[in-house]
Amino acid sequence: MQRYFISLALGFCALALWPPAAAPQSPPDPVAYGNHLEMGDLAQVREWLDAGLDPDTVADRIGTGLMIAAWRGDLPMMALLVERGADVNRANALGETALMHAAWRGQAEAARWLLAHGARVNSEPMHWSALHYAVFAGHAEIADLLLKHGADLNARSTNGSSVLMMAVYEGHERLVRQLLARGADAGIRNDRGDGALEWAFKFNRLAIARLVASPQEFVAAASRPKADWGKPVRSEPLSRSEPASALTIQIEELMRMRELLAQRGMKTAVDSLDRRIAALRAQRVREDRDAPPAAVLEISARRAAPEDQRMRLLEQYGEPMP
C-alpha cells in the first residue's frame, strides 16, 4: 500500500511538471496574414502552417502567400509555402500567378526559383502573361529568362496586344530590339486595330518606329497627320501619381520600428506593434473601399464584329493597363 501511494505521488508530480498544452493557433485574418508576409515573418507563417493553415490562403492584397513572397523576392518564404503544398500556378482574381508578380517586380531570383519548381511560363491564349509583365516593366533580364524557358514571344493579352507592343508602349528600346532579334511579329494588332507601329507614332517614339517598320512603312506612317494616331493617354498606377497617405506613412514607420525591436528580441513589444499595424492596415482597407474606384473600364470590340464587345475592369495594382 505504501508503494502504491508513493507511485501515485510521483505520478502527480510528473503531471505537475509536464508543460501545459500550447493554446491552439487561430487562423489569421487576411490583413494580419498579409502584414506578416510583407514583413517576411517566417516564424509566424510557419507557426500558422503547423496549426493547419491552408498554404494557399489569400491575403487582403496581391493574392496568396506565395504571390506576396514572389512579389517581395522572399525565397525562404516561397520555399516554406511550396514545401507545405502551395500551388505555384494558382492565379488570383485578376488571373495573376506568382511568376507574373515576380516578373512585374523584377525579382529575377524568385522567377528562377518558381520556374525550377514547376511554374508555367505561359498563360492561356488571349491572357496577360509573365512575359507581358516583365517587358511592360522593363525587366530585360527576366524577359530573357522567360524566353529561354519557352515563353510565347507573340503572346497576346486580353485585348490582343502583343508583348512587343508592351515594350513600344513604355518606350523600352532595348527590349524592342531584343524581341525583334528573337523574331517577334511587329505586324500584330489588338482589338482596337493598333499595332507596334501605331503605338510608336502615337507616343512619338520615332527611333522605335524605325525598328518595327520597313523604310516604306515608316515613310508612309510619318506622312500621315499626327491626329490620326489619337491622343497618347497614359494610365499611371496610384502609387506613382498620388502622394502616400498619412496611414501608409504611419504603417511604414511602425514596420521599421518593428524590425528594430525584432532584432533586439523584444517579442512582447513586437506583438503589440503587430496588432497596431494590423489595425491600421484594416483601417486603410476600409478607407480604400469607401474611396472612388481607382480603376479603368476597358471596352473593346473587333472591327469585323463591332457588336461583339468585351468589358474589363483594370485594377490599379499589379496589371499593365494599356
Percent of the chain whose pLDDT exceeds 90: 58
Tell whether the model's pLDDT for residue 239 goes beyond 90: no
Q: Which residue has the higher pLDDT, 95 or 268?
A: 95
> For the whole model, what pTM was predicted?
0.70
Residue 10 has pLDDT above 50, yes or no: no
DSSP three-state, residue 181: helix
Q: Which of 94-103, 196-205, 297-306 has the lowest mean pLDDT?
A: 297-306
> What was the pLDDT predicted at 238?
37
Handedness of CA 302, 306, 218, 222 (dihedral sign): negative
Nearest to 295 by CA among 254, 238, 248: 238
Retrieve residue 201's grid coordinates. Answer: 507614332
**Residue 14 pLDDT greater than 90, yes or no:** no
Judged against a pLDDT cut of 70, whether residue 151 lies above it is answered with: yes
Burial class (CB in 10 A: 0-12, 13-18, 19+), 242: exposed
pLDDT value at position 304?
53
Angle between helices 75-83 and 108-116 (to 10 degrees): 20
Taking residues 206-217, report their average pLDDT.
Answer: 96
